[in-house]
Amino acid sequence: MVSNSGDDQRLTVVIFGASGDLTRRKLAPALFHLYKTGALPKMCHFVGVARSEMDDESFRSALVEGAEEILAYDHEAWDEFAGKITYIRGSSTDDESLKRIDQAVSGYCSDGSTDNRIYYMALAPSLYTGTLQALGRCGMLEESSGYRRVVVEKPFGTNLKSAQALNEVVHSVLNESQVFRIDHYLGKETVQNLLVFRFANTIFEPLWNRNYVDHVQISVLESLDTEGRAGYYDGAGVLRDMMQSHLLQLLALVAMEPPATGGSDALRNEKAKVLQSVSKYETDSAAINSVRGQYVGYRDEEGVAESSSTATFGAIRLYVNNWRWQGVPFFVRSGKALAEKSSEISVQFRAPPHTIFDTHGAEVTPNLLQISIQPHEGVHLTFENKKPGTRMGTAPERLEYHFPAQVIRDSYERLLLDAVEGDQSLFTRSDEIEMSWQIIDPFVEAWQNSLKSQLYPYEKGTMGPETADEFLGENRVWYGHGSEL
């Protein structure tokens, strides 16, 4: 890890695609808060790059919108931060523009300070290759005068082949240690708590295996529909948009072995081993091990073909083929326009093998551990308790912990700071990305071409097609934050 805290260390964050939504809503507020709290090096600069006609002032004003919530109580700090923001009009794929940017950034370091740089690609994915190649051509990735790191947004490729091709371009101009493939889900407090929960406690780890776990559910549910972005979404669908990235990363964190150390390599090695062990289906098996749906009205949206078969809901069943998890299904589910917005991991333990209590023929409720990523970030553990009264009956009760709302910061803030500090733990390595596509590609293929895969319509505001309930198998139900005991 390169130190950036010395007095001679200067940092410049160059954002390509600076006139876009991500910069305004996420990156500018996150950088502002990091700056305000003194988390960034004292000497820092922020350079926005896009093709739109703007000057420094109009760019800063455009950013204020995104930072309004933070600004509400600190205009003075914003003004100081804004003084460090520059806008350079140009294209990220054009050598002449890049040379102007290079010159400006080098100029900040004319006092002999170290020229550390982070290039953030807040760009359409189609521009990643051209931008990386241009940065390489212009010598802007050479680490002679400080570090050069590149943050690449998701999606990283659209299938295994394109991800491999992009990784090849990445590795032709950068070392893997300079690349930060971001998946903002991993910056969420509760996702990191999963590591603490699993590896800083002893009581769960002995149970965390096929002997005690019936199945695992990983759900990322959205109540919003495509919100006018259907044109983009139609080319991606739920598999590419959500499952290949966020959901498989969550699965890897749930299923991995304890890493030897807290270092980024140890963590990413264990995640990669899980992804390597996950079932890679043939096309027809992928069809049988999945359910797909599309909300009614999707095809009427702008940019969507009348006959579009893009899935806005999906549930897939995966197996992690290793000693710990053999035979335990991992149900991974995501969808749009659903009845609730929630992200949750549910670990369903097995029912006791024998009951001595009067349950009127019903099984006692098996233990359930729910890790809620959003909303109400926290952990719930359901356990059986004696029903109060003279009879010896049982009833499920819940132990709950919730993070205090004020300590949850936006995940971009955490991840940007990690990039500044050179910590790649929460960024996805090239092999993880490629293995994720190896898992997802057969589902994409099956959903496009297998006669065994049917597209089920569902009404907006429901929990997706009913077939998804049957898909879980007997005695299993989907859990969500609204699920009652």
Three-state DSSP state, 432: helix
Cis bond upstream, residue 375 (ω within 30): yes
Q: Which of 40, 43, 47, 50 binds ligand NDP (CB under 6 A)?
A: 50
Please identify, using beta-carbon distances, which residue of 58 and 145 lies nearer to ligand NDP: 58
- Taking CB atoms, the residue at the shortest distance from ligand NDP is 20
Q: How many CB atoms lie within 10 A of CB 424?
A: 23
Q: How many CB atoms lie within 10 A of CB 343?
A: 25
Please identify, using beta-carbon distances, which residue of 154 and 333 lies nearer to ligand NDP: 154
Q: What is the dihedral of CA 303, 23, 224, 436, to 10 degrees?
A: 80
Please identify, using beta-carbon distances, which residue of 134 and 274 lies nearer to ligand NDP: 134
Please identify, using beta-carbon distances, which residue of 123 and 415 lies nearer to ligand NDP: 123
Tell me how far, at minimum, the Cβ of 284 lies from ligand NDP, in Å.
Answer: 32
Does 51 participate in binding ligand NDP (rule CB under 6 A)? yes
Say how far apart CA 106 and CA 114 lie, in whole Å.
10
Does 263 participate in binding ligand NDP (rule CB under 6 A)? no
Catalytic residue, candidates 246, 376, 380, 481: 246
Does 125 participate in binding ligand NDP (rule CB under 6 A)? yes
Does 19 participate in binding ligand NDP (rule CB under 6 A)? yes
Burial of 201 (0-12, 13-18, 19+ CB in 10 A): exposed
On the CB side of 18, CA atoms within 13 Å amount to: 31
Please identify, using beta-carbon distances, which residue of 89 and 280 lies nearer to ligand NDP: 89
Does 17 participate in binding ligand NDP (rule CB under 6 A)? yes
Q: Which of 85, 101, 120, 153 binds ligand NDP (CB under 6 A)?
A: 153
Strand (E) or helix (H) holding 349: strand 342-349
Most distant CA atoms of the chain, gap in Å: 83
Tell me how far, at minimum, the Cβ of 44 lies from ligand NDP, in Å.
Answer: 21
Q: How far, rounded to the nearest angstrom, does the alpha carbon of residue 156 sit from its chain's CA centroid?
A: 12
Say how far apart CA 143 and CA 155 lie, in whole Å.
27
Return the beta strands (E) in 17-169 as ranges.
Answer: 43-50, 85-89, 114-121, 148-152
Q: DSSP class of residue 176?
A: G
Query: For residue 47, which amino acid is it?
Result: V
Asked about 246 being catalytic, the answer comes back as: yes
Does 123 participate in binding ligand NDP (rule CB under 6 A)? yes
Does 28 participate in binding ligand NDP (rule CB under 6 A)? no
Say how far apart CA 411 and CA 409 lie, in whole Å.
6
Sole window of 121-129, 264-272, 291-299, 319-327 interacting with ligand NDP (rule: CB under 6 A): 121-129
Identify the CA nearest to 220 among candidates 235, 238, 236: 238
- Segment 91 to 110, residues that bind ligand NDP, using CB under 6 A: 91-93
Does 75 participate in binding ligand NDP (rule CB under 6 A)? no
Does 22 participate in binding ligand NDP (rule CB under 6 A)? yes
Q: Which of 109, 122, 213, 287 binds ligand NDP (CB under 6 A)?
A: 122
Please identify, using beta-carbon distances, which residue of 214 and 432 lies nearer to ligand NDP: 432
Active site residues: 246
Interface contacts to ligand NDP, rule CB under 6 A: 16-17, 19-22, 25-26, 49-52, 91-93, 122-125, 127, 153-154
